[in-house]
Amino acid sequence: EDQVTQSPEALRLQEGESSSLNCSYTVSGLRGLFWYRQDPGKGPEFLFTLYSAGEEKEKERLKATLTKKESFLHITAPKPEDSATYLCAVPGKLKAAGNKLTFGGGTRVLVKP
Amino acid sequence: DAEITQSPRHKITETGRQVTLACHQTWNHNNMFWYRQDLGHGLRLIHYSYGVQDTNKGEVSDGYSVSRSNTEDLPLTLESAASSQTSVYFCASSEVGGRGSTGELFFGEGSRLTVL
């Protein structure tokens, strides 16, 4: 059974204070790893898909990296608008794209001005 | 613009009542999913469908059912609501996987259900 664990559960940052979120996973064979952002009262919003160890993706102040056992979401010089819950997920066995996802518990990030 | 909508957004019901949460998407996606989100458990998959007349159980399907009679809709029914089913429910859809597809799930805004 696929398992996804995120740490820390919560992270409080000062504006401009860079940090990293961790997502570790246990799967029978890596079929991709997804990162989502969720704002309070909203549904999760897609950020990145990573498919192979060593792959990196960037979007504004966010950068996701992937190894064989874990993924990191680096937040560089965060702003208050980066405050959200960040979720990672792995897809099921049948196919990577468009398949059901198993999510981690999320990391709640609060960036104070 | 294409979208995915859930209704109702908020509902309060009593134990034992039948409840149906609606999910409608206009992307013409074949794949649709229902998740519940609870503190301490994250998002957990209830049911999913890969096309019309196809439905599958997720990890927390007991007490829930779905039906897929067309591409656009996947209603979620709680046959006899229980207090343990108080949660926020999210519907999502995605296109069929393939080269060039990100595998992205598009989520609705959620339906908050309280069972008293």
Write the pLDDT tens digit of every residue in A13-42: 999 999 999 999 988 777 789 999 999 999
Closest residue by Cα to residue B102 from A32, A73, A52: A32
Half-sphere exposure of B54 (CA within 13 A, CB side): 10
The per-residue pLDDT for range A50-108, each reduced to its tens digit, is 988 999 999 999 999 999 899 999 999 999 999 999 999 988 765 544 578 899 999 99
Distance from C-alpha of B26 to C-alpha of B44, rounded to nearest angstrom: 24
| Residue B105 to residue A105, Cβ atoms within 8 A | no
A108: its two tokens: 């709640």
Q: Which of A42, A44, A49 comes nearest B103 by C-beta?
A: A49
Angle, CA B73 vertex, CA B72 and CA B75 arms, to 5°: 170
The per-residue pLDDT for range B11-69, each reduced to its tens digit, is 999 999 999 999 999 988 889 999 999 987 889 999 999 889 999 999 999 999 999 99
- For residue B33, list chain A residues with Cβ-Cβ distance below 8 A: 100
Searching chain A, which residue's CA lies closest to the CA of residue B46? A100
- For residue A44, list chain B residues with Cβ-Cβ distance below 8 A: 43, 90, 105, 107
Cis-peptide, bond into residue A8, ω within 30° of zero: yes
What pLDDT does residue A112 have? Answer: 97
* Chain B CB within 8 Å of residue A91 CB: yes
Q: Read out DSSP for A28-46?
A: SS---EEEEEE-TTS--EE
What pLDDT does residue A22 have? Answer: 98
Cis-peptide, bond into residue A91, ω within 30° of zero: no
What pLDDT does residue B78 have? Answer: 97
Alpha-carbon gap: A29 to the closest alpha carbon of chain B (Å): 17
Round the average pLDDT of chain B to a whole number and report it.
91
Pairing of strands A101-103, A84-91: antiparallel
Q: Which of B40, B58, B97 comes nearest A99 by C-beta?
A: B97
pLDDT tier, B102 (very low <50, low <70, confident <90, very high otherwise) = low
Distance from C-alpha of A47 to C-alpha of B114, rounded to nearest angstrom: 30
Collapsing DSSP states into helix, strand and coil, what is residue A82? helix
What pLDDT does residue B101 have? Answer: 54
